[in-house]
Amino acid sequence: MNNRINQLFQEKDKNILSVYFTAGYPELNDTVTIIQELEKNGVNLIEIGMPFSDPVADGPVIQNSSLIALKNGMSVKKLFEQLQNIRKTVKIPLILMGYLNPVLQFGVENFCKKCQEVGIDGLIIPDLPLNEYLSEYKSLFEAHQLHNILLITPQTSDERILQIDAESSGFIYMVSSSSTTGMKQSVAKYQTEYFERVNRLGLKNPQLIGFGISNHETFQNTCKYAGGAIIGSAFVKALEGELTLNERISGFVKTIVNPE
């Protein structure tokens, strides 16, 4: 498989900035604007969150944005409608991130087909573990040119990291600390030991670090240990406020990449 995700990592191996947002938040129809503005401001990769009523791996910020998005009327079907023409304007890789049940109800095969049709490059489904992925989903994802991006944490053993690396593609999502999203604001010593442990394994997939990356300092720090970093809760939080949506997005990306 060789899609926009592979091309990104071939062209850029340092300081990749990936941003997550919840589709349908703050307003139902902000999805396309947010994607276009993120690209315009130099973000390299976007994770479009599909809201779920019971997001167990998420902290309060993304729980809240998911709840509001659902109240606004977001659904998997609606999201695909919004993304129908996204590839006419957006070139960077796009990933859909969300929980398994809405995907199951949409129909896994149908879901993969729609992803390919609108130009999605990868999926992150935190509650689809490796063994279930291998037995039921892998061939379908691959047939539709979709990378399945799997998570590893400080508690993941070397043996399992190597197994995940062998069975997944695109990149590896390194969860920086054992936590739900948006819970920690700094990078502690045990985390750098974990980052170094992963680096020594010499994985075939590049890695991005996520969870707890919220500002220029944490972005810089984590970028030392991986191809780049993922920001979610801090961006979702920044979408609230007085300014226009475009100003909020450009202002936020600037504080991460170049705060001067």
Partner 1 sequence: MNYQVNDKGYYGEFGGAFIPEMMYPNIEELRREYMSIIHSYDFRQEFISLLKHYVGRPSPLYFAKRMSEHYQSNVFLKREDLNHTGSHKINNTIGQILLAKHLKKKRIIAETGAGQHGVATATVCALMGVQCVVYMGALDVKRQAPNVKKMRMLGAEVIPALSGNQTLKDATNEAMRDWINNPVDTHYIIGSVVGPHPYPDMVARFQSVISEEIRWQLDEQLGRELPTRVIACVGGGSNAAGAFYHFLEDEAVELIGVEAAGKGISTPDTAATLTLGTPGVLHSSHSYLMQNEDGQITEPYSISAGLDYPGIGPLHAHLFKTGRGKYLWATDEEVLQSALLLTRKEGIIPALESAHALAALEKIKLQPEDVNIINLSGRGDKDMETYLDYFGY
Q: Which residues carry out catalysis?
A: 47, 58
CA dihedral for 179, 31, 116, 205, sign (positive or negative): negative
Q: Strand, helix or coil at 231?
A: strand
Considering only residues 103, 118, 213, 231, which one is a binding residue for partner 1 as defined by CB under 8 A? 103
The residue among 137 and 252 lying less far from partner 1, judged by its C-beta, is 137
The 32-51 contact track toward partner 1, x by CB under 8 A, reads: --------------------
* 118 contacts 88 by C-beta, under 8 angstroms: no
Q: Is 124 left (phi over 0), alpha (psi -120 to 50) or beta?
A: beta
The residue among 27 and 127 lying less far from partner 1, judged by its C-beta, is 127
Q: How far is the CB of 202 from partner 1 (least distance, A)?
A: 20
Q: How far is the CB of 117 from partner 1 (least distance, A)?
A: 19
* Residue 257 makes contact with partner 1 by CB under 8 A: no
What are the φ and ψ backbone dihedral angles of 164, each rounded to 5 degrees? -65, -40
Both tokens assigned to 235: 């961006």
* Residue 178 makes contact with partner 1 by CB under 8 A: yes
From CA 196, how far away is CA 226, in angstroms rounded?
10
Interacting residues with partner 1 (CB under 8 A): 52-57, 59, 63, 67, 70, 75-77, 99-106, 126-129, 131-132, 150-153, 155-157, 160, 175, 178-180, 183
